[in-house]
Structure 1
């Protein structure tokens, strides 16, 4: 009986352990490849969102520049118009 248990133990070590390690190693490699692909997909998605945010930010900056220009340019023109109104006497229209 002891001889059979020794043979069984020997068989488990010589055959079973390499089979288990081979299957486990292959599964681990597949899992690692899957994780790498998921990380690549996440990186691509993150890069795309970053590009969209950058484009949106650029559009907003352009709009702010236009608004600043309108406010500052119109402010100078408006100030000049106010000063011209102060300098000219009001017209009094006479009935004909």
Structure 2
């Protein structure tokens, strides 16, 4: 019985401070997570859903073959404009 009392004493010496630290931590965590009101949390969830929908639409647009085709057409127009500008330069401009 005497060795059991020693064991209980050691457990209590280390256990009580650890329990105090743990409960303090739990209390602080509750305070931090309680900082967002329920209405704000619902609004934020709704906003995230709206943004996810918008991202899905943008992904569909970018991966759509029509968008790729439009991008290629614009690139060809830009290339054509560059060639047209190069051929319309005067001889003085090309010798520089």
- TM-score band w.r.t. shorter chain: 0.3 to 0.5
Greater length-normalized contact order (CA 8 Å, ≥ 6 residues apart): 2
TM-score normalised per structure 2: 0.36
